[in-house]
Amino acid sequence: MSNDCNKNSCGCCTSGQPPAPPTREPQATALNSNNGVTTRFLISDMDCPTEEAMIRSALKNCREVLALDFNLLERVLTVQHRQGTEPLIVSHLKGIGFEPRPLLAGTAGSSGRDENKGSVIPLRLVIGGVAAICAESLEWFTPDIPGVHFVAPVLALLTVCTAGLETYRKGWVALIHRQLNMNVLMSVAVTGAALIGQWPEAAMVSWLFAVANLIEQHSLDRARHAIQGLLQLAPVEADVKSAAGEWLKRPVGEISVGETIRVKPGERVPLDGEVSAGNATINQAPITGESIPVEKAPHDPVFAGSINQNGLFEFRVTAAAGDTTLAHIIKTVEAAQADKAPSQRFVDRFAEVYTPLVFIAALVVVTVAPFLFGWSWHEAFYRSLVLLVIACPCALVISTPVTIVSGLAAATRKGILIKGGSYLENAAQIKVMAFDKTGTITVGIPNLTDVVILRGNESRALEYALALSSGSDHPVSRAVAHGCRQRLTTAGSLPVERLTAIPGLGMSGTIAGETFVLANHRLIEERRQCSVALEERLESLERLGKTSVILADDQGARAIFAVSDAIKKQSASALAALSGLGIHVVMLTGDNPHTAQAVATQVGIHDIRANLLPEEKLRIIEELRIKFGTVAMVGDGINDAPALARADIGIAMGSAGSDTAIETADIALMDDDPLRLFTLISLSRRTMSILRQNILLALAIKGAFLCLALTGSATLWMAVFADMGASLIVVANGLRMLRTNGAY
């Protein structure tokens, strides 16, 4: 047996089954934890880090609150608090102008604004816009007509009361909580413009800001919809077979594991399961990203959210609604949105310092500039107002989450599940990628090809090998067990006492009072049972790319069992593509050097580390990190858990249907296609490129208008237009990730 066995020492080989996923029960609004309860709130007005800062400020001194977590894109606030204190938290949030709405566990945040507000705001904007345009027109075309100067202030006040009142309300709440956000800056700018008699500009600033906010919200909703579209993949009802044999429509949430569901052509699969009757062609692209539909027959797995293109089939449910592969994907993607990438954390910290500094600069302009440059107080005050409008870092802070979430959504569409923005960003920095061989480069389903009898009876050797290998879930053991069953004429296997897994080496047990081992070459050497003839036989098999395990008793080796594993057809092209991106590829395997070399030669890998124990893989990961930099480890997500955890980025291959793989790795490829790795790196680098473009663009626009403000060349409404225009540009640029055409 190869050294890949028991890589995580989890007991898989002795039990024959992977660890069971945790059971998930339907949750109420609050989730009990050891430190209190956790409640999720939908806050429709929470879009920006400025609102996050306000909420943190309001709740930081509340002893009942234990922890806060923000998902600004989904407008969801998660509060860990003491039992029974939810009304107090709601009261605090309402006190700063928010209307929190508790969410049931598993419910996504709203993708749009409040429906009632949506029907009123456009009308207010129309009224405010007409008034603002009329006020500006009067200023431009009738400056000398007597009495007209009384009309402009009235029109401006009408604009403020319709389009700008919400800005004043939010600005006042922020100000009394000592927060400098865009609403404060705009309120000061509008008020200041009115005080110095610039009524038309006050009206235009108020209206433009409201319009830009509305457009920005619609743009952000596109990013929200990209994630929330996952929720609509699975139907809410299904045809379930009753005890009487009738087909009844039932809600998916009420269907239990073990029940039988029927899926007609054109319908989506409602739950995970195993086909029990019928044949069909299934489009699994929503789950695995596979572009080619997959033929399904009895005993094949099906996933919730996939589409039945033709054929009628029945399947037995294997996972309840909250435990399907799709449910795990949604849960992971929602958690990923809350994970801030390094660039986003930097931008947030920058914005916290930047806004107060510009506010101070505006105060300096209005108080010092008249003495230094001979400006009039009116001129200095006006320029300081323009400076305040430009000070808002909205375009800067919004550029990162929109781009990151768009990248996460684009990856999910391609069957790549990334568990956080930090992993998406770090994937662009990967310098070396280490691969486990079995199940990653190869198919992972080896077959028994050779049985070499060294002494004794072949039939007895097959029986002993079957008895020992049946106790392990390792692919090589399964291949030996399956091959032995096919060669034996008798059914069943011999009883084994004290069956023990030897991590990375093999299995041992007592059969009919005699101790046997089914082990790899290393253990036979440790037992001092090698011979020249045995070494020659092993080397000849290994040179053919076959993995050998030896059956031995206390007298020595009795037989050799050789298995081989086919190489995935995409492996060679995928590894060549990764090398073309400048990534160093390494194979880490517990197999012998000859087998590893035979596989590596076929796929074009030149750096091979073979005959490794699990702890040796960890040491090599550390060596690669020191030599190359950022290291990614690609494995099956279960047996390679220690190496996946030690690498900078752990990537699980072929994770569809595997809860453990999805939860263990940082990135999970939902199908077995190694070309997804090239897609991952390309998509990550494209995301980082767009992210840098957005940050530089936002900073450049800010810098340019700061200079224009100080030279007196920018007006208030121009500053608003530029600031909000920059926000819309970076949002639109970030959303380009959603329009990917599959060129990766």
Which amino acids are annotated catalytic? 436
User: Phi then psi for 555, rounded to 5 degrees?
Assistant: -90, -15
User: Phi then psi for 266, rounded to 5 degrees?
Assistant: 90, -10
Tell me how far apart the alpha carbons of residues 83 and 105 are, in angstroms, rounded to a whole number: 16
Tell me how far apart the alpha carbons of residues 656 and 679 are, in angstroms, rounded to a whole number: 18
Output the furthest CA–CA distance in the chain (Å, rounded).
Answer: 119
User: Phi then psi for 435, rounded to 5 degrees?
Assistant: -115, 130
* 454: amino acid identity, one letter: L
Residue 102's alpha-carbon distances to 107, 495, 658, in angstroms, are 10, 58, 31
CB within 8 Å of 630: residues ≥ 6 apart: 426, 429, 430, 431, 432, 648, 649
CB burial class (10 A; 0-12, 13-18, 19+) of residue 101? middle
* Matching residue, tokens 């009753």: 242
C-alpha gyration radius of the chain: 33
Residue 78 token pair: 């998660």
Tell me how far apart the alpha carbons of residues 506 and 521 are, in angstroms, rounded to a whole number: 10
**E strands along 475-613, which residues?**
497-502, 506-511, 514-519, 547-553, 556-564, 584-588, 607-609
β partners of residue 76: 42, 71
Q: Where are the alpha helices (DSSP H) in 151-198?
A: 151-162, 165-176, 182-195
Which candidate, 113, 109, 125, places its Cα nearest to that of 75?
Answer: 109
Which candidate, 466, 24, 13, 2, places its Cα nearest to that of 257?
Answer: 24
SS (HEC) of 291-319: CCCEEECCCCEECCCCEEEECCEEEEECC
Asked whether the beta carbons of 507 and 518 are under 8 A apart, the reply is: yes
Tell me how far apart the alpha carbons of residues 136 and 138 are, in angstroms, rounded to a whole number: 5
* Matching residue, tokens 């709440």: 173
CB within 8 Å of 6: residues ≥ 6 apart: 12, 13, 474, 501, 502, 503, 504, 614, 639
Q: Phi-psi bin for 305: left (phi > 0), alpha (psi -120 to 50), beta?
A: left
Asked whether the beta carbons of 108 and 231 are under 8 A apart, the reply is: yes
> Rounded to 5 degrees, what angle do the CA atoms 238, 240, 241 make?
160
Which candidate, 591, 589, 590, places its Cα nearest to that of 547?
Answer: 591
CB within 8 Å of 250: residues ≥ 6 apart: 237, 238, 240
Residue 551 token pair: 């059956």
Tell me how far apart the alpha carbons of residues 436 and 587 are, in angstroms, rounded to a whole number: 6
Which candidate, 296, 247, 295, 305, places its Cα nearest to that of 272?
Answer: 305
Residue 410 token pair: 């684009």
Helix or strand run (H / E) with residue 31: strand 30-33
Asked whether the beta carbons of 637 and 652 are under 8 A apart, the reply is: yes
